[in-house]
């Protein structure tokens, strides 16, 4: 039995998971204000213990606890996180002061990839990539059945000299293939098309969201169709890069944008990938699918980290 | 004992290699005209046998023969090659008709990466990338001590919508970071600088080579310095992509361009990598070095393929 905790931007979500990857109990609590690493570690330990109890398991009998954090980890150290002020914090050791069970740390996107690999879209293969399309582009790599920790899928440059990215580079894939990139593109094309349905669907441009273009395209709006087409091309560019480099068997899309209608996202993406990837000259083509576990992927993957490392 | 054969554009080069990766005998013969797969397989078998004899080893006692081909292989099949008309040829089986020793096939760039990993620039680490800067950009990935076969390092897009690549995509890294890309860039900048030393060093533009810009830059030519600067930026772009995705411990440069003066190539490349790669926010930075085995890498790596798979 394992407990996985997903440290999100607003919540901590913990799940009790068994050997087969089945979720036996879940707890969700607000992240709250950060009151120091000691306090944070105690909350994590308590949350893990409570979640184990919920599932009728004595906490000290857990095989391990996995914690997925939005940042970089190394061994039991959190090197840094994006939304919580932690830098070089020995989080595993701190949690162990309150609960004497092995603690594994991982990046949250890596954990999501592990979850999908064992329990979702990546079941049964050996080489698997998850691409998460949210505020940024994240994801994780499973190669030869093992996690390659710390990959930054969104921070490969597809547009040299392009938009400035938060990471400091210019033209990162994330700037174009994320939900934020899609929203920016939608706004740009709307401005040049005052009659587009996009205006109506976004409260006169007040609420442009990732799905706005897909909704309008479904209703036949030409500007929206163009937005979707350009967006899928940007997405395909990085997906094909990953396939050319790593030759995974499956690439799965997760995150908010992956909920878009199949005929506007996955189908044209598959066409581009099949046409442009290097393996089109010979060899096995990768399958492009949708991730299956939604927001639970990170929590389940955190629990199963030990199987993937 | 192993024999590795590197199938090059003009020569077949075979080496007898021992467990420790030491090269005990080498034979080089012209590739000659392709007279069918049967004939080709027999030549490979004979070459392997002769090379073993040269080193005082009975061919039938070889642990295996490794063959590196410029194309895509899968198991004992050559799926296709670039310079020899082979498509879906069971080359390993054909060679076995003439020499009853296990035959392993690999892509030539992958073999070079294996060679550098065991006997050159990648010794002693676990995660290692070779980038070969020649007519194209090739190379190979060793992750967790094992080869990731079939990676196409040069065919990640850094300039979306850019120059058309032989692979069918536009804007592949190879178009900008290869020796060919460097030569194209040199010509372009020369045309705008009639007083540049580049003209003198290239026989009035008749013989622009990969090294021309480096030679002129060493002698202080400003246009050449600009060419070198831009080229290194293009090179850095893909190198940083690889590091952000894979977090290797070492990235080594091979191929003709890697012979450029350190202060014009490796030093500015390291500066860009250290500044721009994601790990600059925390975590281990990759080391950038020069490959060590030169043209022997592919042959040695072909011999040692069995250790890397």
Residue of B nearest to A278 (CA): B167
**Separation of first and last alpha carbons in chain A:** 17
Pick the more confident residue, B99 or A284. B99
> What pLDDT, on the 0 to 100 scale, is given for residue B285?
87
Shortest CA gap B304–chain A (Å):
20
> What pLDDT, on the 0 to 100 scale, is given for residue A225?
98
Tell me: pLDDT of A212 over 80. yes
DSSP string, A241-308: HHHHHH--SEEEEESGGGGS-TTTTHHHHHHHHHHHSGGGGSSPPPEEEE-SSGGGHHHHHHHTHHHH
Proportion of chain A above pLDDT 90, given as a percent: 92
Tell me: pLDDT of B179 over 90. yes
Q: Could you tell me the pLDDT band of residue A305, with boundaries at 50, 70 and 90? A: very high
Distances (CA, A) of A306 to A103, A121, A150, B245, B296: 10, 19, 16, 21, 40
Tell me: pLDDT of A9 over 90. no
Three-class DSSP category at B53: helix
Q: Per residue in B241-277, pLDDT tens?
A: 999 999 999 999 999 999 999 999 999 999 999 999 9
- Interface contact flag, B247 A158, Cβ < 8 Å: no
- Interface contact flag, A144 B144, Cβ < 8 Å: yes
Asked if A173 and A237 count as a contact pair (C-beta separation under 8 A), the reply is yes
- Interface contact flag, B144 A141, Cβ < 8 Å: no
Across the A/B interface, how many CB contacts are shorter than 8 Å?
Answer: 107
pLDDT averaged over every residue in chain B: 96
Shortest CA gap B69–chain A (Å):
15
- Interface contact flag, A245 B80, Cβ < 8 Å: no
> What pLDDT, on the 0 to 100 scale, is given for residue B17?
98
Residues of B in contact with A278 (CB under 8 A): 152, 155, 167
> What pLDDT, on the 0 to 100 scale, is given for residue A28?
97
Q: Could you tell me the pLDDT band of residue B30, with boundaries at 50, 70 and 90? A: very high
Query: ipTM of the predicted structure?
Result: 0.94
Q: Could you tell me the pLDDT band of residue A84, with boundaries at 50, 70 and 90? A: confident
Q: Could you tell me the pLDDT band of residue A295, with boundaries at 50, 70 and 90? A: very high
Rg (CA), chain A: 20
- Tokens 């080229």 correspond to B231
Asked if A52 and A101 count as a contact pair (C-beta separation under 8 A), the reply is no
> What pLDDT, on the 0 to 100 scale, is given for residue A83?
74
- Interface contact flag, A245 B158, Cβ < 8 Å: no
Mean pLDDT of B35-45: 96
Q: Show the tokens assigned to A125.
A: 């293969």
Tell me: pLDDT of B84 over 90. no
- Tokens 């040049």 correspond to A192
- Rounded CA-CA distance B220/B197 in Å is 9
Q: Per residue in A102-138, pLDDT tens?
A: 999 999 999 999 999 999 999 999 999 999 999 999 9
CA A104, A110, A112, A117: dihedral to nearest 10 degrees?
Answer: -100
- Confidence (pTM): 0.95
Residue of B nearest to A239 (CA): B156
Shortest CA gap B65–chain A (Å):
23
- Rounded CA-CA distance B179/B87 in Å is 28
Q: Residue B176 contacts by C-beta under 8 Å, 6 or more apart in sequence?
A: B158, B159, B162, B163, B185, B231, B234, B237
Count of all residues that appear for chain A in the document: 309
- Interface contact flag, B280 A80, Cβ < 8 Å: no
> What pLDDT, on the 0 to 100 scale, is given for residue B241?
98
């Amino acid at each position: 039995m394992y407990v996985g905790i997903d440290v999100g931007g607003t919540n901590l979500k913990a799940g009790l998971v068994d050997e087969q990857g089945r979720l036996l109990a879940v707890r969700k609590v607000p992240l709250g204000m950060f009151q120091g690493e000691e306090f944070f570690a105690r909350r994590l330990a308590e949350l893990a213990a409570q979640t184990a109890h919920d599932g009728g398991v004595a906490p000290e009998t857990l095989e391990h606890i996995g914690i997925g954090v939005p940042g970089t980890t190394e061994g039991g150290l959190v090197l840094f996180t994006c939304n919580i002020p932690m830098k070089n914090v020995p989080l595993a050791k701190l949690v162990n002061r309150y609960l004497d069970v092995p603690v594994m740390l991982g990046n949250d996107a890596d954990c999501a990839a592990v979850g999908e690999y064992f329990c979702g879209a990546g079941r049964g293969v050996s080489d698997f990539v998850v691409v998460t399309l949210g505020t940024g582009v994240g994801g994780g790599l499973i190669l030869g059945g093992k996690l390659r920790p710390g990959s930054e899928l969104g921070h490969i440059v597809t547009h040299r000299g392009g938009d400035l990215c938060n990471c400091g580079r210019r033209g990162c894939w994330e700037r174009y293939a994320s939900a934020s990139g899609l929203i920016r593109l939608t706004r740009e094309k709307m401005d040049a098309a005052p009659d587009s349905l996009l205006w109506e669907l976004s409260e006169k441009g007040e609420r442009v969201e990732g799905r706005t273009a897909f909704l309008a395209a479904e209703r036949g709006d030409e500007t929206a169709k163009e937005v979707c087409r350009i967006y899928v091309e940007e997405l395909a560019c990085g997906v094909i890069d990953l396939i050319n480099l790593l030759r995974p068997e499956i690439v799965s899309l997760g995150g908010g944008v992956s909920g878009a209608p199949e005929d506007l996202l996955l189908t044209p993406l598959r066409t581009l990938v099949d046409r442009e990837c290097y393996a089109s000259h010979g060899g096995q083509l990768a399958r492009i699918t949708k991730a299956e576990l939604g927001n639970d992927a990170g929590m389940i993957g955190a629990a199963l980290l030990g199987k993937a490392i």
